[in-house]
Amino acid sequence: MNIIGLDALVFGVDDIQACTDCLRDYGLDPVGLDGNGGRFEALDGTAIIIRRADDASLPPAIGPAPSLRETIYAVATAEDLAAIEDELARDREVRRDADGSLHSVDDMGFHIAFQVAQRRPFSAPADLTNAPGSEPQRPLNQVGISPDMEAKPRTLSHVVYFVPDSTKAGAFYADRLGFRITDTFEGVGPFMRPAGSDDHHCLFMIQTPPHMKGCEHFTFHMGSGTEVLLAGQRFAAKGWTSFWGPGRHLFGSNWFWYFNSPLGCHIEYDADMDKHDDAWAARFAPMSADNSQLFLFSSREKWAPSGPPPKQG
């Protein structure tokens, strides 16, 4: 099944204004925004959608508001939609909307949807690195960073669920939807990528007690680690509080910076994720600070030296 990644995440929220401020400050562009919610898009059109928690058009909630209400996946063709419909209809309800999109539920009760990809092409500069021993990427007299450089979310990267049974949850996506496991934190859960994507993961699941079931975080890909740091610094300057980071993960190798949000989950910036194909052999490791991050920084206010360094010894 040629699922190529996430197209959108739909949230039911209790404070439209706070969520609007958060997503706009994060760097997403509002589309069709009104008092009942709206869509917030990255450069390629992938999006976060917010609606009032009592909106009758939303799927049933799996927890108190605010919460994730539906995860929408992109597929390559209408034929892929038909294959998914045939597969899931064997043992659960599948509803097809007038626009052709499919709606169903996974084995943990998370509402899932599928649609032909609505992503759009975009142009954004690459982060060019000059490294001794390699040919320079950035030409002479072109600076690598400037105070006003753009750092915009480029595409919806991944979502992380809290689930009561990560083995059963992972088996559904592998056996029924063709996802591949790229790595696993033992006793915690798998990192998974759909067959149509080479990103390390678009879904990660963390085993927790049943009362915690829900969304832990979501993230969008930025253009580089530099953009993660710059966007995160700008986000923090607007009053949003850092939860974890900045740093760099070990599994996936992606840069990260997580923040608290009013959407009922954390919100992350990430960049430079590993790419894999079916030749990749999944790794297994216990969940620990050493295995979840290769390094971690502490963010602080801007600082400049004001004199000679103190003497040592």
Q: Is pLDDT at 98 greater than 90 in this prediction?
A: yes
Q: Is pLDDT at 151 greater than 70 in this prediction?
A: yes
Across the beta sheet with 95-96, what order do the strands follow?
Answer: 29-34, 37-41, 47-52, 3-13, 67-75, 111-116, 102-105, 95-96
Quickly name the fold that domain 3-120+153-296 has: 2,3-Dihydroxybiphenyl 1,2-Dioxygenase; domain 1 (3.10.180)
| Separation between Cα atoms, residue 269 and residue 291, nearest integer Å | 19
The pLDDT score that the predictor gives to residue 182 is 98
| Separation between Cα atoms, residue 104 and residue 84, nearest integer Å | 10
pLDDT mean across residues, the chain: 94
- Burial of residue 156 (CB within 10 Å: 0-12, 13-18, 19+) is buried
> What's the average model confidence in pLDDT over 150-168?
97
> What's the average model confidence in pLDDT over 129-139?
92
- Please write the tens of the pLDDT for every residue from 165-176: 999 999 999 999
> What's the average model confidence in pLDDT over 69-83?
97
| Separation between Cα atoms, residue 24 and residue 140, nearest integer Å | 35
| Dihedral pair phi/psi, residue 228, rounded to 5° | -60, -45
Q: How many other C-beta atoms can be found within 10 angstroms of the C-beta atom of residue 112?
A: 19
Domain locations along the chain: 3-120+153-296
Q: Is pLDDT at 313 greater than 70 in this prediction?
A: no
* Total-model pTM: 0.94
Q: Is pLDDT at 163 greater than 90 in this prediction?
A: yes
Q: Is pLDDT at 222 greater than 80 in this prediction?
A: yes
Q: CB of 264 within 8 A of CB of 69?
A: no
Q: Is pLDDT at 278 greater than 80 in this prediction?
A: yes
The alpha carbon torsion through 154, 121, 251, 231 (nearest 10 deg) reads -10
The encoded tokens of residue 31 equal 């589309």
Cα(first)–Cα(last) distance of the chain, in Å? 64
> What's the average model confidence in pLDDT over 85-111?
97
Which position has the token pair 């990255």?
A: 42
The pLDDT score that the predictor gives to residue 294 is 76
| Separation between Cα atoms, residue 8 and residue 78, nearest integer Å | 18
Sequence-ordered list of residues with C-beta below 8 angstroms from that of 124, at least 6 positions apart, any chain:
43, 150, 152, 154, 223
- Please write the tens of the pLDDT for every residue from 291-308: 888 778 887 777 777 767
| Separation between Cα atoms, residue 20 and residue 28, nearest integer Å | 10
